[in-house]
Amino acid sequence: MLSFVRRNNYSIFFGPPITCDNNFTMMTRFFTLLSILLLLTMSVSSFSQSPIKAKAWVLDIDGAIGPATAAYFTRTLKEATMSNINLLILRIDTPGGLDSAMRDIIQAIIASPIPIVSYVSPAGARAASAGTYILYASHVAAMAPGTNLGAATPVQISSLQNPFSEADKDSPATPTAAKEEEKTVAKDTMTKKMVNDAEAYLRSLAQLRGRNVDWATQAVRESASLSAADALAKGVIDLIATDLTDLLTRLEGRQVKVQEKTQSLSTQGVIVEIQEPNWRDRFLLVITDPNVAYLLMLIGIYGLFFEFYSPGTVVPGVVGGIALLMALLAFQILPINYGGLALILLGITFMISEAFLPSFGVVGLGGIIAFIIGSIILIDDGLPMDEMSFGISRPLIAGIALTTAILFLLLIHLLIKTRRRPVVSGREQLIGAEGECLSNDDHKLRVYVRSEMWNAHSPIPLTPGQRVRVIAVENLTLTVEAIELNSALEIKSSPMVTPW
């Protein structure tokens, strides 16, 4: 006899049914297996991860330092801070720049949580004037062989040279000489204030970074300059490096003070990334060049003038409008002397008005003078640099003024020549014109003059085919006279001349 044993379905797959006795054992096995899996996962992930390497960003300051350069530097510094960059290298080759832009960069360097290394490179580069201040403010100052720094005396680019020589100061006192002496004293006082302020600023940066304070005074007061080797010997810079790789090698283990905390630089195996300016920074760097902004303004003004003078040409108006808007954008960033801008606009207005006013060149000459003076004083800011480094180029001003004067003289010549030419259109050009009588029926005289048929009247009767001359014009009617009759009358009235 067969016997059947009923078994639990779960026991077929999972073993015997779970009872209260082995419940604790199963839970222990489960947590043990889970712990093993977690340990394996963590070990695999730790082996798969590579160690995080330090990163260094390199920025280039090439050319005069202006507002666009300061905006580019501060924006990149913020991005570096957010990206946890370990080191920021500022590669410098500049003749100087605007005082306001320089101070913005220095304030950002001092407040930076990232160590900043200023590196004057490549060979032949310079950190003159404003570049010297930035070099002093950086956490590490480095130079390549064959470079130089210094010449940090401030210059006011809008100031004009004193036309009086030293000999004039020794001349007898006159009211005019006294006034000029007062102006000279006032100018000297302003210069002293600027120099003292620049000296104190550079000395404070030298004391902050532990660099040569005495030479900072010489750089401001005597416009002193140093080569890379001399700067290292005098304690103005921290090191000399031939290239970027050599710089990173020499920075390894160097102690720097960042926000009152001492850090040790670790540059071994650092990843170097060159930060190029984006399209907006490039655009601002171009249009904020004073020479470019100056040309854009002139193109805009002349373009709109030609468009208003000859409506419908379209191209001058479009080009002029775009150029003028870009010039206004640049002027919003640049330190503009609005008195100089007003003089330029007044000068252009006078030169244009000369074409419509009978002033015999007086208005145009005044316009040229106002244009030149306004162009010279257009950029107005104190600069720790040579005045030609960021102002409007004097040769450019002279060239544009000379071109405008030549065009102005050519316009006057054409106007004078036009006034002397005979009239070739209108009613006046018909006076004296000769023609032919076509008909004279029923007291309706018609003549043919200048390839046109006209109604006419004459003080004497005329016959068809007779030559006539116009002596007056009234509305659309001509007054004519016979040419043959006048000639006959002249012959009759002339005296008889005997051959002897």
Nearest to 95 by CA among 129, 52, 72: 129
Q: What are phi and psi of 383, to 5 degrees?
A: -125, 135
- 3-state secondary structure string, 341-361? HHHHHHHHHHHHHCCCCCCCC
Could you say which of 118, 121, 129, 158 is catalytic? 129
Return left, alpha or beta for 41; rule: phi > 0 is left, psi -120 to 50 is alpha, else beta: alpha
Element containing residue 226 per DSSP (H, E): strand 225-227
- Cα–Cα distance, 446 to 435 (Å, whole number): 11
- Cα–Cα distance, 359 to 364 (Å, whole number): 8
Structure-token pair, residue 134: 């930035």
Could you say which of 169, 179, 192, 193 is catalytic? 193
Question: What does the DSSP 8-state code read for residue 113?
Answer: S
CB 313 within 8 A of CB 304: no
Element containing residue 409 per DSSP (H, E): helix 394-420
Residues in the chain: 500
- Cα–Cα distance, 401 to 351 (Å, whole number): 11
Write the single-letter amino acid at 176. Answer: T
- Cα–Cα distance, 388 to 330 (Å, whole number): 19
- Cα–Cα distance, 191 to 182 (Å, whole number): 14
Q: How many CA atoms lie within 13 A of 254 on its CB side?
A: 21
- Cα–Cα distance, 452 to 470 (Å, whole number): 13
Q: Is 227 a catalytic residue?
A: no
Write the single-letter amino acid at 160. Answer: L
- Cα–Cα distance, 125 to 59 (Å, whole number): 15
CB 375 within 8 A of CB 392: yes
Q: Which residues pair with 56 in a beta bridge?
A: 87, 272
Alpha carbon distances (Å) from 301 to 317, 327, 456: 9, 10, 51
CB 63 within 8 A of CB 97: no
Q: Is 169 a catalytic residue?
A: no
Active-site amino acid positions: 129, 193
